[in-house]
Amino acid sequence: MLDELRRLGRVRCSIVSRVQEALLSWFREHGRDLPWRRTRDPYAILVSEVMLQQTQVPRVAPRYLAWLELWPTARALAVAPRDEVIREWQGLGYNRRAVNLHRAAQVIAVSGWPADLTELPGVGRYTADAVDRFAFDEPVLPVDTNVRRVLERTGGAFGPESAAALMDLGATICLARIPRCGVCPLAASCPSRDRRFEPLRKQGRFEGSFRQRRAETLRLVAAGHTTGLDADADAVASLERDGLVEVHAGLAQLPH
């Protein structure tokens, strides 16, 4: 019985190895050439991961390069005025990320990189794992939406070395609703092959939402317009709580 279990274990390991190698072989030929994949600098990778939270790659890539031109190190960002940081972030959405990234840079500049990166402002489990994997070569597999989708559909077991490949497969082949199974390197052994999937619950509409009011209020403040509390008191108060504006004598302005 023990010998049979060992044999089955070896067979399973062999299958897992073949599936992972098929994925990595596909990635070597089809992987995306992204600017943050050309560095192991943890600060640069942190910038990319924070920018990529809920923002598409094509929008992020040029802004990432421009950001690093302005602030190439955590120390450079740490001493930058917050109003400049917020202005530079305009157009990427979810502006609180800019404030958290600025605060994280200040922590790193003073104390260095913590052993647990989730101690940095705005850094959750996935972002911490991504920086650990791509900058520090830690044996962890960062699981974002794309990676989780591939893991759930294939039932596969992949090691940390497959992280970038899984991300690209999920982003370009194993799509949310109609996966491109005909060109997938894992299709032969995938139990979900040729399935179609229900659309995920969409985020509420931006048009007419409170998020839009916040964004518009912040845009006006960043552009130097005088914005009083009577313009949109709720939006101003929300932005103030997030550290995106300061209110003096009833007028909102970017923090310095």
Report, as residue numbers or ranges, the catalytic residues: 49
Helix (H) or strand (E) holding 251: strand 251-253
Output the six-digit token pair for 238.
Answer: 């929300």
Amino acid at 208: G
Alpha carbon distance 200, 87 (integer Å)? 33
The dihedrals phi and psi of 216, each to the nearest 5 degrees, come to -70, -40
Q: 222-235: string of b/e by CB count within 10 Å (b at 16+)?
A: beeeebeeebbeeb
253-256 contact pairs (CB < 8 A, 24+) = 253/83, 253/221, 254/82, 254/83, 254/86, 254/87, 254/221, 254/222, 255/82, 255/83, 255/86, 256/81, 256/82, 256/83
**Residue partners of 151: CB distance under 8 A and separation at least 6:** 143, 158, 166
Gyration radius of the chain's alpha carbons? 22
Inter-axis angle of helices 210-222 and 233-241, nearest 10: 80
Alpha carbon distance 127, 118 (integer Å)? 8
